[in-house]
């Protein structure tokens, strides 16, 4: 199913000062890049979308997914997937257990191992289910974190400086994998980044927040 997102005239203020004013469509499979200096409100916008805006902010507007307001749903029902720059895998769990954590509770116990194996194949890590996350390279960890998030069947993807800790080569690879996946699954993406190269690679609209 294809998902279209509309950041519908969202205004977020703190202490009477308007931090964010945005009205922007994000088509299915498209990446909206959000850029701006430190403190401009990039993380605040993501917090608003996932429903974790601190109470000293005031917000108006709506986040419409296929025309329905996401903010009317409790946070755990919004199906918003998010990747952070420090997306740590749980160190006390195997790679397979990390992925199983992302699987929706609806997937039957008997079907879980096959789903995990299929997911590992999709990210080029066949046979890695029993590996300790500490034994993976940075790029492999990033792929597992991406797949763990995708297994939760998000309808929207948020990237919060998700590529900034990767070296240039891995960064290109993971970025391509994320954007290709978003296109294949027809997910709208909002990417917060400091890096113009991320926005260039995304090829979608760019929204600049100012101080």
Q: Which residues bind ligand ATP (CB under 6 A)?
A: 14, 19, 36, 38-44, 54, 56
Nearer to ligand ATP, 56 or 106 (CB): 56
C-beta of 191: minimal distance to ligand ATP in Å?
A: 13
Nearer to ligand ATP, 38 or 137 (CB): 38
Nearer to ligand ATP, 24 or 97 (CB): 24
C-beta of 120: minimal distance to ligand ATP in Å?
A: 32
C-beta of 96: minimal distance to ligand ATP in Å?
A: 33
User: What is the SS3 string spanning the chain?
Assistant: CCCCEEEEEEEEEECCEEEEEEEEEECCCCEEEEECCCCCCHHHHHHHHHCCCCCCEEEEEEEEECCEEHHHCCHHHCCEEEEECCCCCCCCCCHHHHHHHHCCCCCCHHHHHHHHHHHHHHCCCCCCCCCCHHHCCHHHHHHHHHHHHHCCCCCEEEEECCCCCCCHHHHHHHHHHHHHHHHHHCCCEEEECCCHHHHHHHCCCEEECCC
Nearer to ligand ATP, 41 or 96 (CB): 41
C-beta of 41: minimal distance to ligand ATP in Å?
A: 4
């Amino acid at each position: 199913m294809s998902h279209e997102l509309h950041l519908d005239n969202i205004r977020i203020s703190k202490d009477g000062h308007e931090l964010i004013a945005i009205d922007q469509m994000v088509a299915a499979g498209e990446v909206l890049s959000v850029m701006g200096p430190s403190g401009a409100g990039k993380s605040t916008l993501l917090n608003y979308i996932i429903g974790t805006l601190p109470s000293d902010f005031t917000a108006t507007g709506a986040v419409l997914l296929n025309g329905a307001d996401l903010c009317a749903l409790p946070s755990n029902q919004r199906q918003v997937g998010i990747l952070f720059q420090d997306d740590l895998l749980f160190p006390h769990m195997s790679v397979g257990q990390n992925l199983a954590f992302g699987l929706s509770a609806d997937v039957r116990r008997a079907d879980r191992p096959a789903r995990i194996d299929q997911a590992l194949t999709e990210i080029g890590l066949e046979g890695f289910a029993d590996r300790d996350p500490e034994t993976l390279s940075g790029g492999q960890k990033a792929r597992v974190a991406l797949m763990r998030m995708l297994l939760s069947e998000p309808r929207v993807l948020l990237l919060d400086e998700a590529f900034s800790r990767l070296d240039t080569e891995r960064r290109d690879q993971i970025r391509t994998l994320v954007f290709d996946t978003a296109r294949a699954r027809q997910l709208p993406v909002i990417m917060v980044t400091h890096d113009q190269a991320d926005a260039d690679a995304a090829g979608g609209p760019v929204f600049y927040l100012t101080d």
